[in-house]
A and B are shown apart, each in its own frame.
Chain A
């Protein structure tokens, strides 16, 4: 009985800790948002113009793109080819808090048209700081003919986040003992966390079932709020 009381007390403490962590995470999650202006320049333009915005949420490692700024007409893109024989589409990301932090990339104009303005921005994170981005179009060959359905260049942009992986390390494991017949001696199976400490979690489950804190619906709403044409994808790396 005594043992059970102690375990119950421990379970309560863990529960309180978890709750605090969730609340802290929500508070800081909002402040972990980074905003970048997306600017682009066509070959016959002399200046960069704004085309959209990217919001990077560091805590969840997701980023969203939204079109804003001037919308360019299809004619602009058509004219670019004729006016210039060096047709490159230049794009840059500018940190809104720190405008000196500029990242630049490019693609060929014809690729942008061949991909019907479907492009992808891959953001590279290093210790929660954005330092570079890769820019790709969905098409990689210029040969397809471009038939526009609308009069404006509607960018359908996918944003991806890539975090640096940790470098490979030598595996300095202990050598496994081998039986006389040549087979590897199996070490005793280790029990998983749940197998060992299921009784700590039991009261939490009971508490949840008997009507615990109800923050779940709120989170779901937040997730539904996202979407539209600009989907966010988790990192592939």
Chain B
């Protein structure tokens, strides 16, 4: 009977198990689940709205990061982009379904792109013979013009060379090299089968205008000189061209002069009459007039703006096509703040002009006018935060006008580039979308741990009680308060239970079991510590991104208004229950009048607001947010000591005169504060210093203790860097026979690589306290054309370089891995128990070299909470991918023979001279991550997992477990089976309990 019951239960359990396995046996593709990826294009340099025939409008952008992209005006998404790495884009212009780009890289490269797909149609190189390349960097000397029939494209490069290409196949029709001429050409205009190149010729104090005319078909040349005196290139503007005649307009003394291209006649109008009669708002002008080119195809309208005592005035002018005279079209009037103008044509070829300016710190006003009809078409106020993005630098207008029953209404949209480098898209009265392109300028990043969720302290905050309150409150009242709080929380319990069960069953840990709706919006650490803030620092801005929310922006702040440039960012206080985390960003303001100033901005890292402590009165500076020190920081250190009151780390600044400044509580630490200075990459020496502690007052003086001059002619090409968080789990390495090789863990060791003119690479390991060279190795035949990368972690130092050694068949990329041990023999240690740099104890260096399949931009290494998993090196490859290679492959102990049983015990892999090019090692799968400058890592709470961020142009964030996720149940672990087994056993016990009890009683009776 009992057996029958048991069998039934067993069958039940088995059937349940099968059911459950079917239900949960699904594997999801992991791509994009643990990682996120953001594509950027950079701050626009040349941008325009373009409407290809029979297609919708797109925004075409050529950026400072040398990317060409097409953006959808609807949502700001990238339709396509092309990254021109290593080149500088100088011009970008569209025509029908194609766009042409001119970029510079060892000469000039002209490319034609198809706008719809972003495919390149042709590419031609203009060799840089005989013209001044330096000039081209100043801009203006590169111009592109399409002929009216669209058959030819004429390119001016370097201010001297004009080349005519066939637009269809890129065939060169003619080339005109005017390198001999003293005229620097600036602008091209095409009209009536003639190409006019307008240039300036320097003559004593002034420039005179030269016009060089070419025939489009034959390239026959004619040069004319206009009698003119121009003080600056800005005093000249060229309008028209294409279907209309081109005109040169320039300012000369008290007159504005106009020349019709192709003729010698010069019309002139007096500035004074302009001020008095034509444009009333110019009456109060105090400065020089400034031409604003609206760059609207063949139109002859342009803007003149002028500063007044309290703002600026502007007016629209036009060159009359018939008479060639300057006529005033519309007075835009006087406004109190600086305005940015842009123009566009509507469907009926009517010119519409926008005037954009900041009304207050949070408001932008856009005015739309039609100058030909002297109509103000609209005025829009848009909320825009100057504290986040800074002032407006550029605007780009696109309009459509609708005529309804004789009333004209205009719909506008506008691309705005702000001072921080980001893009905003205005549509009517709101911002339609933003692109945080300032992140492409990021120079540093810090991972910020979020505070743990302790609701009772956050809400009741007993810790935050003032001491007087603590004394007066009775224990009973306190108990009641706590109880009430718990009862309050109880109402969320059912929800919590449901989410918890759901989470357990599905294994989806992204669902937070906490019931508090408030908690979802605020920043708290998640269960496994995967959620952190990434705080990016650009030259003028701080941006915080949430790692668990696909990199959404949490807060951002612009500091460009203080005219300082950021150098360094530190997390000076990490999150605790009571205290908010604090970051310090250090910027340098170069001010010629008052001397240089270093500013320290203290911010609450969770909100981005200014952090002001309760205990101190902040010195109220002009902008009220920073401490300033009247000097430039030469080097900035975060010291490993905390200031007792606020528990913030201390920062030491070393100024240009080599005096150290520091915040507080520094004296105690200063006895062991040694530091090293070098000129960085390109330097020739290293110097070791010590802070002198004779006097207590700041700034402290420093004295030099050692100096290391690298051999003559050698320059530093790479300096090793360590991950910010480094914990060593084990002091030694256990070998197969249970003996131990003790690691040499000198925290002050730095790896330096220098390159000599005889192309030998010297690799040094230097103790930075004592200035001793602990290891020195020389590699011959190393090419300086490829960068050298060094990374240090624990007792391992790895470097990557390009070897030219053709004789020994070693030409290619190499990596060398050095492991440092206290002794060559196992179980041997240094005599000293305490490590000191003053002891003559040199490490045993165990090195091995491998051929590496790729070029590398930067190297990172995984960091975990306690450093238990094996390290994984993360290489940013030339192929825009991230390659993760376990230390097991980069192990100097890999034996060059068949494995013995001891080797197998140590889990060694036999030596192979090349690192396998295994596609499984590419962590970024098929994502192209362009322009990686750094790979930063940070530990999660899970010991197995490290958070990895690659940034540069694009952002890519992932979680990497170098030794697999040994502390998490695998995804295919059947929780259902476990539950069913437990349930089955409980049922089994319940069923069998009465018969067993009966049997026991019976056995006692009989």
Asked if A and B bind, the verdict is yes
Residues of A within 8 A of B (CB): 85-86, 88, 90, 102-108, 111, 120, 122, 124, 126-127, 129, 131-132, 134-137, 140-141, 162, 164-173, 184, 236-237
Q: How far is the CB of A216 from chain B (nearest CB, A)?
A: 35
Q: Is there a chain A Cβ closer than 8 Å to B218's Cβ?
A: no
Chain A residues, Cβ within 8 Å of B832:
140-141
B704 A104 Cβ-Cβ under 8 A: yes
Residues of B within 8 A of A (CB): 690, 692-694, 703-712, 761-763, 770-773, 776-780, 808-810, 814, 816, 832, 836, 838-840, 842, 847-851, 896, 898, 911, 913-914
Chain B residues, Cβ within 8 Å of A137:
838
The answer to whether residues A184 and B898 also contact, given A164-B777, A164-B778 and a CB cut-off of 8 A, is yes
Give B670's nearest chain A residue, CB to CB: A86
A106 B711 Cβ-Cβ under 8 A: no
Q: How far is the CB of A56 from chain B (nearest CB, A)?
A: 15
A85 B694 Cβ-Cβ under 8 A: yes
Q: Which 5 pairs show the lowest CB-CB distances between chains A and B?
A: A140-B839, A167-B779, A136-B840, A134-B772, A170-B913
B711 A127 Cβ-Cβ under 8 A: yes
Give B839's nearest chain A residue, CB to CB: A140
B839 A168 Cβ-Cβ under 8 A: no
B849 A164 Cβ-Cβ under 8 A: no
A88 B838 Cβ-Cβ under 8 A: no
Chain B residues, Cβ within 8 Å of A127:
711
B838 A136 Cβ-Cβ under 8 A: yes
Give B779's nearest chain A residue, CB to CB: A167
Chain B residues, Cβ within 8 Å of A85:
693-694
Residue pairs across A and B with Cβ atoms less than 8 A apart, 27 shown, are A86-B703, A104-B706, A104-B707, A105-B705, A105-B706, A105-B770, A120-B840, A122-B840, A131-B709, A131-B712, A132-B709, A132-B773, A134-B771, A134-B772, A136-B840, A140-B838, A141-B836, A165-B777, A167-B761, A167-B778, A169-B810, A170-B814, A170-B851, A170-B914, A172-B808, A172-B809, A236-B842
Other than A168-B816, A171-B913, give 10 A-B pairs with Cβ distance below 8 A: A103-B709, A124-B776, A134-B771, A134-B773, A136-B838, A167-B779, A169-B779, A169-B808, A170-B914, A172-B808
Give B687's nearest chain A residue, CB to CB: A104
Considering the chains assembled together, what is the distance between the CA atoms of A122 and B708 in angstroms?
A: 13
The answer to whether residues A111 and B838 also contact, given A164-B777, A165-B776 and a CB cut-off of 8 A, is yes
A126 B762 Cβ-Cβ under 8 A: yes
A171 B707 Cβ-Cβ under 8 A: no
The answer to whether residues A86 and B838 also contact, given A131-B711, A168-B849 and a CB cut-off of 8 A, is no
Chain A residues, Cβ within 8 Å of B842:
236-237
Between A104, A141, A168, the greatest number of chain B beta carbons within 10 A of the residue's beta carbon is seen for A168
Considering the chains assembled together, what is the distance between the CA atoms of A134 and B705 in angstroms?
A: 12
Chain B residues, Cβ within 8 Å of A104:
704-707, 771
Considering the chains assembled together, what is the distance between the CA atoms of A107 and B706 in angstroms?
A: 10
Chain A residues, Cβ within 8 Å of B761:
167
B776 A162 Cβ-Cβ under 8 A: yes
Considering the chains assembled together, what is the distance between the CA atoms of A106 and B710 in angstroms?
A: 18
A86 B810 Cβ-Cβ under 8 A: no
Specify which of A105, A167, A170 is in contact with B763 (CB 8 Å cutoff): A167
Chain A residues, Cβ within 8 Å of B808:
169, 172
Chain B residues, Cβ within 8 Å of A102:
707
Chain A residues, Cβ within 8 Å of B778:
126, 164-167
Chain B residues, Cβ within 8 Å of A103:
707-709
B838 A107 Cβ-Cβ under 8 A: yes
Chain B residues, Cβ within 8 Å of A135:
770
B777 A126 Cβ-Cβ under 8 A: no
Give A138's nearest chain B residue, CB to CB: B840
A129 B847 Cβ-Cβ under 8 A: no
The answer to whether residues A136 and B839 also contact, given A106-B706, A127-B711, A172-B809 and a CB cut-off of 8 A, is yes
A172 B773 Cβ-Cβ under 8 A: no
Considering the chains assembled together, what is the distance between the CA atoms of A111 and B838 in angstroms?
A: 9
A86 B707 Cβ-Cβ under 8 A: no
Considering the chains assembled together, what is the distance between the CA atoms of A237 and B843 in angstroms?
A: 10
B777 A168 Cβ-Cβ under 8 A: yes
Chain B residues, Cβ within 8 Å of A173:
913
A170 B838 Cβ-Cβ under 8 A: no
A172 B712 Cβ-Cβ under 8 A: no
A170 B850 Cβ-Cβ under 8 A: yes
Give A184's nearest chain B residue, CB to CB: B898
Q: How far is the CB of A4 from chain B (nearest CB, A)?
A: 39
Give B771's nearest chain A residue, CB to CB: A105
Q: How far is the CB of A128 from chain B (nearest CB, A)?
A: 10
Between B712, B762, B771, B849, the greatest number of chain A beta carbons within 10 A of the residue's beta carbon is seen for B771
Considering the chains assembled together, what is the distance between the CA atoms of A141 and B704 in angstroms?
A: 22
B710 A172 Cβ-Cβ under 8 A: no
Q: How far is the CB of B583 from chain A (nearest CB, A)?
A: 34
A88 B772 Cβ-Cβ under 8 A: no
B711 A129 Cβ-Cβ under 8 A: yes
Q: How far is the CB of A139 from chain B (nearest CB, A)?
A: 9
Considering the chains assembled together, what is the distance between the CA atoms of A107 and B771 in angstroms?
A: 11
Chain B residues, Cβ within 8 Å of A136:
772, 838-840
Give A182's nearest chain B residue, CB to CB: B898
Considering the chains assembled together, what is the distance between the CA atoms of A231 and B103 in angstroms?
A: 66
B708 A132 Cβ-Cβ under 8 A: yes
A86 B692 Cβ-Cβ under 8 A: yes
Considering the chains assembled together, what is the distance between the CA atoms of A105 and B704 in angstroms?
A: 9
Chain B residues, Cβ within 8 Å of A124:
773, 776
Give B812's nearest chain A residue, CB to CB: A170
Considering the chains assembled together, what is the distance between the CA atoms of A184 and B847 in angstroms?
A: 26
Give B692's nearest chain A residue, CB to CB: A86
Considering the chains assembled together, what is the distance between the CA atoms of A100 and B154 in angstroms?
A: 59
Give B898's nearest chain A residue, CB to CB: A184
Considering the chains assembled together, what is the distance between the CA atoms of A126 and B694 in angstroms?
A: 39
A126 B690 Cβ-Cβ under 8 A: no
Q: How far is the CB of B818 from chain A (nearest CB, A)?
A: 8
A88 B913 Cβ-Cβ under 8 A: no
Considering the chains assembled together, what is the distance between the CA atoms of A173 and B761 in angstroms?
A: 24
Considering the chains assembled together, what is the distance between the CA atoms of A106 and B771 in angstroms?
A: 9
Chain B residues, Cβ within 8 Å of A131:
709-712
Considering the chains assembled together, what is the distance between the CA atoms of A237 and B771 in angstroms?
A: 18
Considering the chains assembled together, what is the distance between the CA atoms of A184 and B899 in angstroms?
A: 12
Chain A residues, Cβ within 8 Å of B703:
86, 88
Q: How far is the CB of A111 from chain B (nearest CB, A)?
A: 6
Considering the chains assembled together, what is the distance between the CA atoms of A141 and B849 in angstroms?
A: 38
Considering the chains assembled together, what is the distance between the CA atoms of A127 and B780 in angstroms?
A: 12
Chain B residues, Cβ within 8 Å of A162:
773, 776
Chain B residues, Cβ within 8 Å of A132:
708-709, 773
Q: How far is the CB of B786 from chain A (nearest CB, A)?
A: 16
Give A137's nearest chain B residue, CB to CB: B838
A88 B711 Cβ-Cβ under 8 A: no
Considering the chains assembled together, what is the distance between the CA atoms of A173 and B913 in angstroms?
A: 8
Q: How far is the CB of A46 from chain B (nearest CB, A)?
A: 13
Q: How far is the CB of A201 from chain B (nearest CB, A)?
A: 31
Chain B residues, Cβ within 8 Å of A166:
777-780
Considering the chains assembled together, what is the distance between the CA atoms of A168 and B692 in angstroms?
A: 41
B705 A90 Cβ-Cβ under 8 A: yes
Chain A residues, Cβ within 8 Å of B709:
103, 131-132
Give A126's nearest chain B residue, CB to CB: B711
Considering the chains assembled together, what is the distance between the CA atoms of A65 and B810 in angstroms?
A: 42
Chain B residues, Cβ within 8 Å of A141:
832, 836
Considering the chains assembled together, what is the distance between the CA atoms of A124 and B708 in angstroms?
A: 11
B896 A106 Cβ-Cβ under 8 A: no
B762 A164 Cβ-Cβ under 8 A: yes
Chain B residues, Cβ within 8 Å of A126:
711, 762, 776, 778
Considering the chains assembled together, what is the distance between the CA atoms of A90 and B771 in angstroms?
A: 13
Give B769's nearest chain A residue, CB to CB: A106
Chain A residues, Cβ within 8 Å of B814:
169-170
Between A111, A129, A134, A172, the greatest number of chain B beta carbons within 10 A of the residue's beta carbon is seen for A134
Considering the chains assembled together, what is the distance between the CA atoms of A111 and B762 in angstroms?
A: 32
Considering the chains assembled together, what is the distance between the CA atoms of A162 and B773 in angstroms?
A: 10
Considering the chains assembled together, what is the distance between the CA atoms of A105 and B848 in angstroms?
A: 31
Give B832's nearest chain A residue, CB to CB: A140
Q: How far is the CB of B170 from chain A (nearest CB, A)?
A: 44
Q: How far is the CB of B610 from chain A (nearest CB, A)?
A: 38
Chain A residues, Cβ within 8 Å of B838:
107-108, 111, 136-137, 140
